[in-house]
């Protein structure tokens, strides 16, 4: 494993705003879809691109100039991301607010780190990535309402090798679909010009709340806010003893695993109809294998110990009414599956996991808001123990299609999982229908590492074939 020691230098720090006078002051209320995200730490995606130029060339200077100019034009349309989240005391509802001259932090850094090493799939120390992640400006929390910036961007140059574009953003302002639209709009403007199909819709009235979920979630958030700042403690995880790695699951691997599950299912469940999408099959493998790694002694587990698997489910196609694809905000629900630890660790663990996740998705397909009043409390329980597994991200966003004019990303990483202990899931770069998962196992003493490597090898073999 490469050393985490490297040098980096800040070349530029500035603020990027929409063009002066192009956007009026605007306030956007939060919907019940946004409220649970008030408790979550920021997302931190990184996009690595091949770009073999020196940091002092005219090509690099032009690139940076184009990025800044096109980002300003993009923020003219996605101006809420340049604004702030305000969180007043109860009973006033939190909201997003943009005022003229609001901006985002834009930083340019030069790094001596090994670009090829960082953009690989193998194990890498988590601390090697953290100089690539931008820092959000500090929140103003010494008065009410509290004010929280929403987005920061950092461009890191690896001379003669590549470039990394990193983000830190608050999920309360944008789900993965919204942020993907923002990124693709920026890339389109940078490369060829504005794509009118990506212009966002800000109309919050399209989100209906006939069951009165919003006041229930607001009450839960106000309680959480009075007891601790975040559902996921940003400082509660030691990073110096952790590594991260990426595993690729190809479409042929998924099909083999699906057929194995169906064969075993006929013996255990008879004609019970399983929901076995590629997402379910991949997540089932992740859940069962991580449980086996984390809980190697099945005798120590009670048969009554519940293990949970948490994931995000898209809401736009499940609501029963139309929401524009370009709606700016959150429109996702939370899924939580349950199985006994002893079942997950048995020889049919993947089958048990697949049935549990598939059954949860079937329920969401029928009633995406079923149990929505428990979203905050359910996820608090998920984050209350390392036994539970959570995945973030979606393979449906086509993030590897993000081209600013110098080609597709070589690699995408989600750095927030270093602190949240989640697994990041995205589409595979090189295989149609495949997926990439990023995981962060804990480094251990040599004898324990060797045993974990055997388990990890089995996981990789299962998922890569």
Active-site annotation holds for 171: yes
User: Which tokens sit at 413?
Assistant: 């990483």
Q: Say if residues 287 and 389 touch (Cβ distance below 8 Å).
A: yes
Beta bridge partners of 426: 436
Q: Which of 148, 171, 307, 421 is catalytic?
A: 171
Alpha carbons within 13 A on the beta-carbon side of 297: 2
The catalytic position among 100, 114, 195, 403 is 403
Q: What is the chain's Cα-based Rg?
A: 22
CA distances from 355 to 95, 261, 280 (A): 39, 9, 9
One-character DSSP codes across 397-447: S-GGG--SSS-S-SEEEETTHHHH--EEEEE-SSSTT-EEEEE-PBP--HH
Q: Within a 13 Å sphere around the CA of 2, how many CA atoms are in the beta-carbon half?
A: 20
Cα separation, 393 vs 409, in Å, equals: 17
The partner residues of 46 in beta bridges, in order of sequence, read 166, 413
388 is catalytic: no
Q: Are 167 and 81 in contact (CB under 8 A)?
A: no
- Residue 446: Cβ-neighbour burial (10 angstroms; 0-12, 13-18, 19+): exposed
- Let me know: does 276 contact 261? Beta carbons within 8 Å: yes
Q: What is the DSSP string of 13-41?
A: EEEE-SSTTSS--EEEE--TTTGGGGGSP
Point out the residues that are catalytic: 171, 403
């Amino acid at each position: 494993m490469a050393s985490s020691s490297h040098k980096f230098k800040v070349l530029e720090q500035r603020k990027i705003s929409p063009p002066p006078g192009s956007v009026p002051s605007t306030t956007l209320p939060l919907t019940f879809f946004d409220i649970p995200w008030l408790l979550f730490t920021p997302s931190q995606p990184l996009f690595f691109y091949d770009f073999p130029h020196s940091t002092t060339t005219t090509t690099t200077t032009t690139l940076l100039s184009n990025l800044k100019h096109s980002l300003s034009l993009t923020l003219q349309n996605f101006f809420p991301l340049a604004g702030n989240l305000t969180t007043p005391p109860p009973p006033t509802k939190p909201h997003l607010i943009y005022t003229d001259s609001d901006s985002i932090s834009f930083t340019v850094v030069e790094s001596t780190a090994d670009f090829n090493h960082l953009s690989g799939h193998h194990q890498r120390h988590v601390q090697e990535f953290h100089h690539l992640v931008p820092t959000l400006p500090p929140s103003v929390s010494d008065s009410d309402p509290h004010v929280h910036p929403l987005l920061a961007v950092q461009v890191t140059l690896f001379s003669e090798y590549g470039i990394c574009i990193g983000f830190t953003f608050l999920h309360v302002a944008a789900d993965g679909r919204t942020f993907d639209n923002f990124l693709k709009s920026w890339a389109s403007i940078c490369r060829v010009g504005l794509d009118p199909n990506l212009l966002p819709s800000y109309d919050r009235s399209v989100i209906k709340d006939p069951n009165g979920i919003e006041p229930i979630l607001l009450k839960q958030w106000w309680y959480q806010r009075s007891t601790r700042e975040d559902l996921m403690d940003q400082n509660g995880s030691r990073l110096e003893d952790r590594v991260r790695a990426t595993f690729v699951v190809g479409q042929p691997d998924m099909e083999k695993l699906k057929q194995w599950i169906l064969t075993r299912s006929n013996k255990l469940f008879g004609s019970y109809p399983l929901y076995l999408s590629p997402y379910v099959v991949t997540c089932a493998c992740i859940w069962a294998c991580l449980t086996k790694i984390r809980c190697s002694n099945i005798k120590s587990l009670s048969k009554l110990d519940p293990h949970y698997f948490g994931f995000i489910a898209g809401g736009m196609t499940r609501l029963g009414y139309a929401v524009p694809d370009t709606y700016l905000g959150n429109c996702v629900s939370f899924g939580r599956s349950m199985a006994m630890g002893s079942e997950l660790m048995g020889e049919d663990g993947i089958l048990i996991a697949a049935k549990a996740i598939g059954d949860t998705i079937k329920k969401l397909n029928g009633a995406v808001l079923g149990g929505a009043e428990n979203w905050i409390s359910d996820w608090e329980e998920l984050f209350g123990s390392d036994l539970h597994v959570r995945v973030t991200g979606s393979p449906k966003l086509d993030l590897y299609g993000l081209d600013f004019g110098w080609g597709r990303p070589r690699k995408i990483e989600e750095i927030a999982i270093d602190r949240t202990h989640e697994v990041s899931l995205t589409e595979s770069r090189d295989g149609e229908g495949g997926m990439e998962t990023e995981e962060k196992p804990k480094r251990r003493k040599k004898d324990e590492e060797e045993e974990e490597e055997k388990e990890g090898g089995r996981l990789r073999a299962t998922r890569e074939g």
